[in-house]
Amino acid sequence: MQPELETYLDQLLSIRQDADGLMSSLTDEQFNWRPAPNRWSMCECFDHLNITAEQLFIPRIDAAIADARRRGLTSAGPFVYPALQRLFLRMNEPPPKIRFKAPTILKPKLIRPLAAVHGDFLNWQDRLGELIRQADGLDLQKARHRSLMPLWTWSLGTFMAVMLAHERRHIWQAREVRNATGFPSARAGTTASTRL
């Protein structure tokens, strides 16, 4: 496997472990608690990751792989990506230096059960892992697809790297919520992931 893709799989494993640790032993009340009216809950952080996986990253990564296979774009690498793509990747890494407002189509739902959000998150991680493996042997720089912004196209490698950075960013944000003053303690008699 190409070294860059092996790195992405390592990052994916680390993200999954971090997310599992953060969501373990929480009640739905804790998972949906907001530290302030204008700040997201842990649920919103992970639900946003699920929505962006479904609406933005996974379809475009899938399309870039299919297009590269159709066009015979293969290479062993290494790959160098354009400066704007590298800059956007750095901007997505935590802790955030610039905050973005999520587009309406990528905004999370306010309240959802932990088990549902966690299950969806793990499914999207599995799907990304499958796509990373499918991309082996492709030219990760020349394989491209349109980004969320209509005038930009991103390289396949950039899509994967930005998705992983975006996940780290919001897992960092979720950890900040769990560590915030006032985070509710588990009440006696409640179990993790109780129904809302």
Q: What is the DSSP string of 159-180?
A: HHHHHHHHHHHHHHHHHHHHTS
What does the pLDDT profile of the chain (196 residues) look like in tens digits?
Answer: 999 999 999 999 999 999 999 999 999 999 999 999 999 999 999 999 999 999 999 999 999 999 999 999 999 989 999 888 888 788 888 887 777 777 676 778 878 999 999 999 999 999 999 999 999 999 999 998 987 666 678 899 999 999 999 999 999 999 999 999 999 987 643 444 443 3
- Locate the domains of the chain by residue range: 3-7+38-178
The pLDDT value given to residue 195: 36
The pLDDT value given to residue 58: 97
The pLDDT value given to residue 150: 63
CA 43 to chain centre: 14
The pLDDT value given to residue 46: 97
Give the pTM. 0.89
Per DSSP, helices labelled H in the chain are 3-23, 28-31, 42-52, 58-71, 83-92, 114-134, 156-178
CA 10 to chain centre: 14
Which residues make beta-bridge pairs with 153? 146
The pLDDT value given to residue 106: 73
The pLDDT value given to residue 192: 44
The pLDDT value given to residue 193: 43
DSSP designation for 151: T
Show Cβ contacts of residue 192 under 8 Å, excluding neighbours closer than 6 positions. Answer: 24, 25, 26, 27, 114, 186
The pLDDT value given to residue 29: 96
